[in-house]
Amino acid sequence: MNFLRNLLAAIIGCLIAFGIMFVMFLVLAALIGQGDDTVVVKDNSVLEIQLQTPINDYVGMDESNPFAGLFNVNQGLDEILHAIRVAKQDNKIKGISLNNNVLMAGLSQTQAIRDALTDFGESGKFIYAYGDFYTQKDYYLASAANEVFLNPVGAMDFKGLSTEVLFFKDLQEKTGIKMEVIRHGKYKSAVEPFLANEMSEANRTQIKELLDALWQSMLTNISESRDISVEDLNHIADTLGTRTSKYAALSGLIDEVVYFDEYESMIKEKLGIDTAKDINYVPISDYIRTAGKIKINSGKNKIAVIYAQGEIWYGEGGSDVIGQGIINDALKKAREDEDVKAIVLRVNSPGGSALASDIIWREIEITKQSKPVVVSMGDVAASGGYYIAAGADKIFAEPTTITGSIGVFGTIPNISELAENIGVNAEQVGTNKNSVDYSLFEPMNDSFRSNVLEGIEATYETFLDRVAQGRGITTAQADSLAQGRVWSGVDAKRLGLVDELGGLDEAIAAAAKMVDLDNYGIRKLPKYKSDFERLMEDLGGATSKSKETIIQQEIGAEAYAILKEIKMAMQNKGIQARMPFTLNIK
């Protein structure tokens, strides 16, 4: 028996040792392969833009970190935009080939890339776009090109925006697992999925108005690029006028229907090279590394750009979760840096913990006493995302930003019905009247509900006060814009929830103007650990990300999204200032 036990231990030890040696070999090979990662751009080159991995506003790897590029999959929006701007000034880059399918970016991120392409086009260089098929978001980006091409047997989706909201009331009744919901009385659309089987008319109306505003912004941009009226674009969408490649070309949204080799022949003709020669493509993933060494903005004085992206959770936070720890550290670092003259907070968040939001809000108030703080809103800056933005000296939003959703609620899981069904009985013992205030296994009593509601009402009033104070309006005016209502950036500007429409560049320019800076550099915060460093920290077992990837592959993306939404709802702690529903616009 001892022999078998020792043999098994030896085998396991060898496997672990081989695993560590294999990982270290990969690291060494990657580091050797990185060397000088500058890409040599030849004369008469074309920047090839294929964006087929998830895009974050900011990846946040420290450039001096040798592990920064290892195993990282996501692309940074800031890096993509910077590369396009550098390419505009690069005499060796003659044009852009945009060849993209199923863009994994938010609508405002897509608009930001589109704006950068439009700016690139003003240099006189060409932009061609090709697709085997176009989703609506793909086409929205491609429409910035001088000419847009489609595969003869390809397809194009152009039918208007829609979204789907899942409801869980029946699921709760069937399983005996339910979410106890406590909300502000006027916060009508909050957590409807746990209270009803269908959408209320008020909620349907606000979502419809939001989608209409986002669609209108997209159509306005497409109309300007393609010289087709918004009315005609809506007619094309209503009649599915791009359902085949032939119809897409007749609609005017596509210039020509060609195969990819024919598309490349057109690029060669544009470049003035022989058809037998290869095109000098420079993939944007490679060009990003070269462009990163070129500073468009430079100077001793700095504008700090602090990225707050993801849901808001109480705690430290990280690259895809906003925590008061990492954000407040970044604010403090920027505040105490003598070279930093102003701060731009880039917010891309549907909200989350009201407590963490208020802690961040307070740190912004402290920072404003010494340096101006400007907020740039990304795809979404709603509920807690708006909470942390409300006190800024100035707020910018993209037309397609989803914002507002000023309101709070609490959701508490309860399995008393399930426990009863399966024969589980829980008994509680306590020292005082309220020492046992709530049990997962018992129905919520009126006293506990009343106490939680009191906290929610207080948090809501605090939220309104933060908004009123930051926007220079009365609490009653703030309340009229609140109650959980979501708005597009355009409507938020009209209502005074934001100051200006524009992207991160406009926010940075406004911050520089506040402190009279003409020449300045950009300092990005915070810095995150690389995926490889997190992998090494979790070497003893699968990381949470790898586990999630395995589950997603097994059950599919849509089922995984439902599972994740339920999981997040079950894990929410404390009073929440977050979007009342999940919108997957398509």
Let me know: does 507 contact 304? Beta carbons within 8 Å: no
Alpha carbon of 168 to those of 13, 65, 189, 268, 329: distances in Å? 47, 45, 15, 55, 39
Angle made by CA atoms 370, 318, 394, in degrees to the nearest 5: 35
Let me know: does 414 contact 179? Beta carbons within 8 Å: yes
Beta pairing class for 340-349 and 302-309 = parallel
Structure tokens at 138: 């793909």
Alpha carbon of 105 to those of 21, 87, 260, 441: distances in Å? 37, 21, 24, 41
Q: Which residues are catalytic?
A: 188, 383
Q: 483-508 burial, b for 16+ CB within 10 Å, e for fewer?
A: bbbbbbbbbbbebebbbebbbbbbbb
CA distance 342 to 302: 7
The closest alpha carbon to 497, from 585, 409, 401, belongs to: 401
The closest alpha carbon to 342, from 334, 330, 354, belongs to: 334
Structure tokens at 435: 């020492």
CA distance 484 to 492: 13
Alpha carbon of 127 to those of 18, 201, 219, 310, 337: distances in Å? 49, 44, 20, 33, 41
Position of tokens 């085998």?
11
The closest alpha carbon to 296, from 514, 85, 62, belongs to: 85
Beta bridge partners of 134: 156
